[in-house]
Amino acid sequence: MPFTQPPMPDRCSAIFLDRDGVINHDPGDYTRNIDEFKLLPTVLKSLLELKKRGFVFILITNQGGIAKGIYGHKEVEEIHNHLKEILIRNDTPLLDIYYSPHHEITGRSLSRKPGSIMIERAVAKHNIDTSASWMVGDKQRDLDCASPLGISGILIPTNANLEDYLPELQ
């Protein structure tokens, strides 16, 4: 009997989201713990609309405060678990979360944005259609990490209303 390749699962379209300044309020000097984590006002409504358009959601975030000793992996995991619970209740779960604990002051890392490794891992793991996906960030490095893979980006002001940018995310 000849070998046949199993069918490839359907590719999905993703919205890759930066965290601080896009999902939650960025105070300007790190969100250190769950008490400082404040969801931005239009995020839940916006994600519901994007889900209706067929997108899945993946968080891509630098957490350089870990390398600087400002907070640790435990605090980041606590924030991410809290966010996952909120988004599950909103019926807009995160497909995955990728974060880089590195910062230039302690050494360079290819996983830190603008490096593309976090996005590359997500694309490979989840069979993402890069031509039908978007990266949403509030810093140019957020978009720069996705562009080598052909993923379009939208640069929004820090702490902006995500809802204002829905027309661009088609």
Nearest to 162 by CA among 51, 46, 49: 46
**Does residue 61 sit within a domain?**
yes
> How confident is the model at residue 59, as a pLDDT?
98
**Does residue 6 sit within a domain?**
no
Query: Is residue 91's pLDDT more than 70?
Result: yes
Residue 24: give its domain's CATH number. Answer: 3.40.50.1000
Question: Model confidence over 4-54: pLDDT tens digits?
Answer: 544 545 889 999 999 999 999 999 989 999 999 999 999 999 999 999 999
How far is the C-alpha of 23 from the C-alpha of 10, rounded, in Å?
A: 27
**Overall domain count for the chain:** 1
Please give the positions annotated as active site.
18, 20
The predicted model gives 124-149 an average pLDDT of 97
Nearest to 25 by CA among 138, 146, 118: 138
**Does residue 8 sit within a domain?**
no
**Does residue 10 sit within a domain?**
no
Structure tokens at 53: 């358009």
Is-above-0.85 flag for pTM? Answer: yes
> How confident is the model at residue 5, as a pLDDT?
47
Q: Which domain holds residue 130?
A: 15-165
